[in-house]
Amino acid sequence: MTEATAVLSTTDPRVVRAIELVWREAELLDRKDYTAWNDLFAADGYYVIPIDPHTEDFANSLNMVYDDARMRQMRVTRMIEGYAIAAVDAARTVRTVSRFVPESVSDDEVVLRSAQILIAYKRGRHDIWAGDLVHRIRLSDTGDRIVQKVVRLVDSEDAVPAAGFLL
């Protein structure tokens, strides 16, 4: 095993911390605990769902979601307060996040790729949402935070129905 392989192992304690944060995030989203989910993000963090499956320039591309802290908070508020079409009669979800591959690891940050399969159930119907995820996680003794979450849906270039939940 080369040194580079050892550093990018999923058994590296820094990578384990990042994986545990991603699993915690998935659990919060399935419980619809959107406030706690938002608290997992760094103040400068972004939540992105691009349409172009290959883009890295999210600021200059068309996205389904491109949320900084202000927009994430607005999205959370719509999901939990008052009458919002996205939250009324929302689907129940169960997601699995797996196939973790560390892209880069340092004492301050882990970039982690993974796959997500989400099953949404609403009005007697199951829908499947699948995508590749990239999480950039800032490690800190005061609490690890998501700096960027990118969800690349496998069908992002097709018509995607309104979800009523967060990916």
Ordered DSSP codes for 46-89:
EEEEESSTT---GGGS-EEEEE-HHHHHHHHHHHHSS--TTTTT
Specify the pLDDT at position 1: 45
pTM: 0.91
Whether 96 has a pLDDT exceeding 60, the answer reads yes
Whether 38 contacts 73, CB under 8 Å: yes
Domain segments of the chain as ranges: 3-153
Please give the Cα distance from 73 to 149 (Å, whole number).
Answer: 15
Whether 106 has a pLDDT exceeding 60, the answer reads yes
The residue-averaged pLDDT of 149-163 equals: 86
Architecture of domain 3-153: Roll (3.10)
φ, ψ at 125 (rounded to 5°) = -130, 140
Specify the pLDDT at position 163: 72
Residue 91's pLDDT band (cuts 50, 70, 90): confident
Specify the pLDDT at position 94: 97
- Name the more confident of 164 and 35: 35
* Mean pLDDT value across the chain: 91
pLDDT tens, residue by residue, 107-137:
999 999 999 999 999 889 999 999 999 999 9
Contacts of 89 (CB under 8 A, 6+ apart): 122, 123, 164
Please give the Cα distance from 72 to 92 (Å, whole number).
Answer: 21
